[in-house]
């Protein structure tokens, strides 16, 4: 994966919701071309950040036995420009889930202001089909780092 848009998972309630953070710096390479002299995070990458949070929620909730992947984006609304130096809070909440898919509402806020929200349809598949053993070890290492100090199933606002 070229871009990783989760710096840390702050809170996670299994099969319900997740809150993660991303600190944007001017050194993010996409800012160089979008746009020179006025750097803005592309909307597609905001959706990717939301999908990564949704994937983390679904995969951790399933004990890393299922791979979550983006199938569809619905009702995406971009409300504010996202710029370097901002701290993004990414929240994803499961609206419905079955064995093969989940519908997740996701939003990104910055300083308590909603900058983007959307509904994501996430597919769920056997993780062993998607990742060979060595790749899975790398993915699990990311989750270990992101989840350090986080208690699953804690209530939060």
Q: Give the domain ranges of the chain.
A: 8-147
Q: Is 126 strand, coil or helix?
A: strand
Percent of the chain with pLDDT over 70: 97
**Catalytic residue from among 8, 11, 34, 136:** 34
Decide which of 48 and 152 is more confident.
48
Judge: domain 8-147, CATH 3.50.50.60: no
Q: Give this prediction's pTM.
A: 0.94
Residue 23: active-site member = no
Buried b (16+ CB within 10 A) or exposed e, 39-72: bebeeeebbbbbbbbbbbbbbbbbeeebbbebee
Asked whether the predicted pLDDT for residue 155 surpasses 60, the reply is: no
Query: Looking at residue 61, what is its pLDDT?
Result: 95
């Amino acid at each position: 994966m070229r871009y990783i848009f989760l710096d840390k998972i702050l809170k996670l309630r299994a099969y319900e919701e997740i809150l993660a953070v991303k600190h944007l710096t001017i050194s993010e390479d996409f800012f160089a071309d979008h746009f020179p002299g006025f750097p803005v995070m592309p909307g597609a990458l905001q959706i990717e950040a939301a999908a990564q949070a949704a994937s983390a929620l679904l995969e951790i909730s399933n004990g890393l036995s299922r791979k979550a992947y983006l199938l569809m984006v619905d009702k995406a609304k971009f409300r504010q420009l996202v710029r370097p130096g901002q701290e993004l809070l990414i929240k994803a909440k499961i609206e419905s889930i079955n064995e093969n898919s989940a519908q997740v509402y996701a939003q990104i806020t910055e300083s308590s202001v909603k900058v983007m929200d959307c509904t994501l349809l996430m597919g769920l598949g056997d993780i062993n089909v998607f990742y060979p053993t060595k790749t899975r070890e790398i993915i699990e290492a990311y989750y270990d780092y992101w989840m350090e100090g986080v208690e699953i199933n804690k209530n939060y606002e």
